[in-house]
Amino acid sequence: MKNLKKMDKEVYAALAGEIKRQAEGLEMIASENYVSTAVLEALGTVFTNKYSEGYPGNRYYGGQEYTDIVETIAINRAKKIFGCDHVNVQPHSGAPANMIAYSAVLKPGDKILGMDLSHGGHLTHGHPVTLSAKIYKFVRYKTDTKGKIDYDALEKLALKEKPQMILAGFSAYTRNLNYKRFRQIANKVNAILMIDIAHIAGLIAGKAIPNPVPYFDIVTTTTHKTLRGPRGGMIMCKAKYATAIDKSAFPGFQGGPHMNNIAAKAVAFSEALKPEFKKYAQQIILNAKTLEKELKSYGFKIMFGGTDNHMVLVDVFGSKGVTGKEAEIALDKIGITINKNMIPDDSRSPMDPSGVRIGTPALTTRGMKEAEVKKIANWINAAIENHKDKKVLDIIRKEVIKLCKKFPLNR
């Protein structure tokens, strides 16, 4: 980065600080991960200079022979990973991917049945503060008292509301979904069936959990998180929706695609097709299950009864009398990054909720396994129980740095 250092010392200093922060800390935000050096290299290429409105073989500008190649590679690799009919790799991120999908097949005012945010859904699944909620009418379903989706109740709600779309997927739900049951319910009310797999795409790619693609009409995802690609989005769909999805993405919602990002997506998809990615995806879940077990042993209440994927949602306020915000700050001080999070029907506010969301993808990327997760769970408990004790937090911080040095980034 010698050119950056010479040209802009302020930005260079911030970047150097971030490199140090990531290297000496444990990233446990469930939606974050570390990309490979190859993905980073692809992001920083001359593809960033190129405007490429349109699609391979049908662009609005000239000079597209290499952009066409790289986008086609990305599309074909995604098809191979997920077994889908059609792929659009141009969405800039997950939220735009969802908006593109909605607008492709729905009219303003149409009804969508989506998961409630406090029960694990995402903002773009119908929260009132979002643009999508101003365009479409969202009806939100919740988990039951045991923390599971009640599919019989979901069916009754669908029969009552008769939505044009049923939306599956989540941001902080930790159980596997019953894809077949979603399909049956959608068929009963003649609704388009869509799923947002942003969090679990890498687990699906690694065959650690079932693939929803055969059951759903439209599948959206981010390409970061468990998939370990650059920050971006992607839409997969059945052939009958391909033209509508592509037109909705461009020119409907976005202009020129970010070709450097698409090149990096292609690289990440290549990595996801390698045999070792299966072991990686399986280890993410093993680490999450270990985290669940250890935190339970320290008296934490785990929401939804446990986890089937890469994260746990923990009621820290109900368990330890510490708010989600207080827990996040305390863990930041020891070098463990997590995020405060609402729990089902949380009585506290979103900016200072009762829970925290903790994930294992980035730890697993660094090569950590069950033994390391057990140590980390102990540190999490100690930091939360002693969140006002600077001396204790400083001691744990030194231990975290020691562990991080044993597992360097970009493995």
Give the active site residue among 71, 116, 196, 346: 196
Which residues fall within 8 angstroms of residue 97, CB to CB, at 6 or more apart?
A: 91, 220, 221, 222, 233, 234, 235
CA atoms within 13 A on the CB side of 166: 26
Q: How far apart are CA 248 and CA 242, in angstroms?
A: 10
Q: Is 102 a catalytic residue?
A: no
Give the active site residue among 222, 223, 226, 365: 222
Q: Is 225 a catalytic residue?
A: yes
- For 79-152, strand residue ranges (E) read 86-88, 111-115, 137-141
Give the active site residue among 77, 140, 183, 225: 225
Which residues fall within 8 angstroms of residue 349, CB to CB, at 6 or more apart?
A: none
- Edge-to-edge order in the sheet of strand 339-341: 301-302, 311-315, 355-359, 339-341
Please name the residue that has the structure tokens 């408990």: 381
Give the active site residue among 181, 231, 238, 374: 231
> Strand pairing of 165-169 and 111-115?
parallel
Give the active site residue among 24, 32, 45, 53: 53
Give the active site residue among 12, 32, 51, 293: 51
Q: How far apart are CA 251 and CA 59, in angstroms?
A: 12
Helix, strand, coil distribution of the chain in percent, nearest 5? 50, 15, 35
Instruction: Pick the closest to residue 320 from 303, 298, 337 (CA basis).
Output: 298
Instruction: Return the amino acid letter for 376.
Output: I
Q: Is 222 a catalytic residue?
A: yes
Strand, helix or coil for residue 140 = strand
Q: Is 307 a catalytic residue?
A: no
Diameter over CA atoms, the chain? 64
Residues 192 and 165: beta-carbon distance below 8 Å? yes
Strand, helix or coil for residue 301 = strand
Q: How far apart are CA 36 and CA 121, in angstroms?
A: 29
- Cα–Cα distance list, 97 to 21, 29, 214, 244, 262 (Å): 30, 21, 19, 13, 14
Q: How far apart are CA 380 and CA 155, in angstroms?
A: 39
Q: Is 346 a catalytic residue?
A: no
Q: How far apart are CA 40 and CA 33, in angstroms?
A: 13
Residues 257 and 112: beta-carbon distance below 8 Å? no
Please name the residue that has the structure tokens 């040095």: 405
Q: Is 51 a catalytic residue?
A: yes
Task: State the catalytic residues.
Answer: 51, 53, 196, 222, 225, 231
